[in-house]
Amino acid sequence: MNKILSGFLASLFAGLATTIGALLLLFRIKFGSKSMPLFLGLSGGIMFSASIFSLLIPALETGNLILVLFTFLIGAVFVDFVDSVVPHEHFIKGLEGPASKLKMVSLILLTMVIHNFPEGMAVGVSFAKGITPAAISLAVAIGLQNIPEGAAVALPLFSLGLSKSRAIFISFLTGMVEPVAGFFGVSLGILFSKLLPYLMAFASGAMVYVVSDEMIPESHTQGSEKIATFSFMVGFVIMTLLDNLF
């Protein structure tokens, strides 16, 4: 299969998984106050493991040590910069970036665009070498972590007064950022193949920043530190198993 097409389809699969998590709203399940920390912790653990084992370590194996670590940091700096110039809303932290007259739903959508772009790019970049076991495991991992993440987006939106269908649709829209980013990532990886280790390191740094700056702090609220921590560790174990089984 064409590398660009495979990278796009893999990131589309990962993005659509967000909708699967959001569909939990259709079931009459009572989610307690600990649900969001659990979902965020699980997603964060999978994402962190994928960042290290599927992106950073392969980049270190094929690229220059100093340049790989430098681009890893640049990935984090880039997301931090975008955070500072794009207005967006977190469920816990509130408004970040410049003041805006946009509605809260639009601001939350922008938050998830910032969050999901590095994930989609990571999947796309991993397919620049072709359909490899490492690329497949990363796409599956991002898809898995998007399921609880989709729930973590849809549930608060529903609690804010949105209908179930609208909350699910917004979660779907956030996931559709990933195939766009995937197409961008795989195209860059193919056009500039010598830069592939550094593109992987950039994506890894961006993802680690999102986990550390957003997912972990937001999961540690209302006395939920232990639930969030153990769900993070379970997510880490799930992804590490995937990475080693493929």
In this prediction, residues 1-17 reach a mean pLDDT of 88
CA atoms of 54 and 133, how far apart (whole Å)? 10
Instruction: Give pLDDT, residue 34.
Output: 65
Q: Which of 155, 173, 240, 231 is nearest to 18 (CA)?
A: 173
pTM of the full predicted structure? Answer: 0.83
Q: How confident is the model over 110-122, as pLDDT tens digits?
A: 777 777 888 888 8
As a whole number, the mean pLDDT across the chain is 83
Instruction: Give pLDDT, residue 59.
Output: 93
Instruction: Give pLDDT, residue 91.
Output: 58
What pLDDT band is residue 168 in, cutting at 50, 70 and 90?
A: confident
In this prediction, residues 175-197 reach a mean pLDDT of 89
Q: How confident is the model over 45-65, as pLDDT tens digits?
A: 988 998 998 889 999 999 999
Q: What are the residue boundaries of the structural domains of the chain, listed by start?
A: 3-24+34-245
Number of other residues whose CB lies within 10 A of the CB of residue 212? 13
Instruction: Give pLDDT, residue 93.
Output: 63
| Helix or strand run (H / E) with residue 6 | helix 3-22
List C-alpha distances in Å: 138 to 47, 142, 168, 233.
9, 6, 25, 18
In this prediction, residues 64-80 reach a mean pLDDT of 94
